[in-house]
Structure 1
């Protein structure tokens, strides 16, 4: 299995499909090979336990093991026709849940207080998500299946809509694949959550890495209350389900920037450095005041042998040395507070009295 980068750190890819055996797959094994069409038995049921845990800095994340919570949470994957049984263990002191987009579920797996579907503090609860394939309809039309780049999130912490949970980092990517889809070598999740990227601000945003020519899958998700766009430098994709053209006559527009608004999600695959070579490339929100304020990060395309391309380290150093407005404002405020404290220490208080 390829090493991956989640939240800027190199880790094993957290894919349900890739780890099906370890997660209690029933109904047929799933064997995957990177960069090759995916094949799996139809109608498989996969069982996974997810832990909701408090993290440093007031964050809360989802994880596949105790002590393994991250922001974003793990990428959950299934094929059309599969069922996913998620046992959510709430280790926190607050009410929370897990709510999916794009798949089928009953009201008791809705993950919302509206349907009395959530975890009380310390409670364990199972949510069942189903998926289905495209079906024929009248008039030579088709009803869509579940395949797509979706996401999941809390819907119960803070408010009836989980606003507190979203603000704290309770979200992650959900992929429903169509049989025959090509699987990536690397997989990155980018969440624009109000003015943050994966609940971080530049220059502390994740740096995602791949080697030249590797197939890279991006899952972009929007949360919060603000309008965003997602732009990836030097790479482009087709604006359809997979990001790849179906053939020479595919009418899908080829783009490198797309709206990413609260509750929306999309994904695509690119070949790292295709047509442009290795280097440090930027991803960011193209709402100018948002990128200026810290909604930007780095996509590092290393040479094919994994070595650092010429000029890339210098670009990374410039990025980390650049003061985005939010970071500059924080540093200015901190400096002002430190100066005030120093003055307070240097100048003793003068109390009222006769001066004797």
Structure 2
């Protein structure tokens, strides 16, 4: 997932590896996939080479209808999830996505934060989508910061972005997004820290990952592990994302660059439709292991079920004192505070 061997599994988590390789005009990097508990997945090169190598990376994504009436993206046939797989590359890489539409509906894949031509826009406006049963290739490119006119600098592509459908049910993919066709897109810059665990949290109207408590994912990590949260907003409601007992810097990475870094340190941030951000925390740093809530801090949203649990186990993976009781309370009561 992150260019090194990641210590995934805790209980209820399963790892799998899928090699997707090809050759086109240079080096094409193979891809691995790791599927996590809670319906998140990751696709990233197994052998990243060096940041800035400008590799062409290829991945096949399958769009499928799920038994629940939702739709999802997956890295193998029959393995679609909500959210879809985390697509992750280095700044300077190009990502070629072969989207296989295994549904009977028109749909697409549209990115935020990267460069693409109109043919890879994923919108009906540019006649860029998959008909039912069709396979189509989308190409997204990234770049490092560069000096622009007048001494100003043009931004690079590094950041916590996202992708989603833009064609199912209308010109903007509103039905596709509502039914789960979305996922995280991470573009890293050389020197960025890599996480031990990675979780995607999507506030989609009045749901988290299209679920409400007590069915919202319980994310797990061991005390002291580096954990990355990728937060995405969809739908028509305005939200605030809050993580109990942990905080981060309001900048691109979530980390301070030094003791005098003026970035604001926060534990709550607006998460509105079309927005995305990410950050890393050390699990249980300064507070210890336990069951820590994450939720929307709009009160009637959390009361309505927009709340989940970040379970920080002991360093050896065992359950900390009181955590199971907290999980039992969560499954009996869906509210947050």
- TM-score normalised over the length of structure 2: 0.89
Alignment counterpart, residue 278 of structure 1, candidates 289, 302, 306: 289
Q: Report how many aligned residue pairs link the two structures.
A: 314
Matches of 1:292 and 1:309 in 2, distance apart?
26
5+ residue gaps, structure 2, are 33-47
Higher helix share: 1
Aligned residue number for residue 179 of structure 1: 190
C-alpha displacement at 1:38, in angstroms? Answer: 9.0
Q: Does 1:52 align with 2:49?
A: no
Aligned residue number for residue 251 of structure 1: 262
Matches of 2:7 and 2:78 in 1, distance apart?
20
Aligned residue number for residue 309 of structure 1: 320
Deviations 1:164-198 (A, max 9, x none): 00011000000000012110000000000000000
User: Taking structure 1 as reference, are residues 200 and 3 closer, same or farther at Cα in structure 2, changes over 3 Å only?
Assistant: farther
User: Taking structure 1 as reference, are residues 161 and 233 closer, same or farther at Cα in structure 2, changes over 3 Å only?
Assistant: same
Q: Does 1:161 align with 2:172?
A: yes
Q: Does 1:81 align with 2:92?
A: yes
C-alpha displacement at 1:42, in angstroms? Answer: 1.4
C-alpha displacement at 1:25, in angstroms? Answer: 6.5
Alignment counterpart, residue 15 of structure 2, candidates 12, 16, 26: 12
Deviations 1:266-318 (A, max 9, x none): 00000000000000000000000000000000000000000000000000000
Aligned residue number for residue 100 of structure 1: 111
Q: Which has the larger radius of gyration?
A: 1
User: Taking structure 1 as reference, are residues 195 and 140 closer, same or farther at Cα in structure 2, changes over 3 Å only?
Assistant: same
Secondary structure of 2:312's aligned partner: strand
**Mapping of residues 237-248 of structure 1, within 5 Å:** 237-248=248-259
Secondary structure of 2:325's aligned partner: helix
Deviations 1:312-352 (A, max 9, x none): 00000001011559xxxxxxxxxxxxxxxxxxxxxxxxxxx
Aligned residue number for residue 206 of structure 2: 195
Aligned residue number for residue 71 of structure 1: 82
Asked whether the 8 Å contact 2:58–2:97 carries over to 1, the reply is yes
Matches of 1:169 and 1:81 in 2, distance apart?
29
Deviates more, 1:277-286 or 1:41-50: 41-50
Aligned residue number for residue 335 of structure 1: none
- TM-score normalised over the length of structure 1: 0.84
Q: Does 1:121 align with 2:124?
A: no
Matches of 1:159 and 1:122 in 2, distance apart?
18
Matches of 1:146 and 1:52 in 2, distance apart?
26
Q: Does 1:319 align with 2:304?
A: no
5+ residue gaps, structure 1, are 14-18, 326-356
User: Taking structure 1 as reference, are residues 321 and 80 closer, same or farther at Cα in structure 2, changes over 3 Å only?
Assistant: same
User: Taking structure 1 as reference, are residues 166 and 109 closer, same or farther at Cα in structure 2, changes over 3 Å only?
Assistant: same
Asked whether the 8 Å contact 1:5–1:208 carries over to 2, the reply is no
C-alpha displacement at 1:109, in angstroms? Answer: 0.2
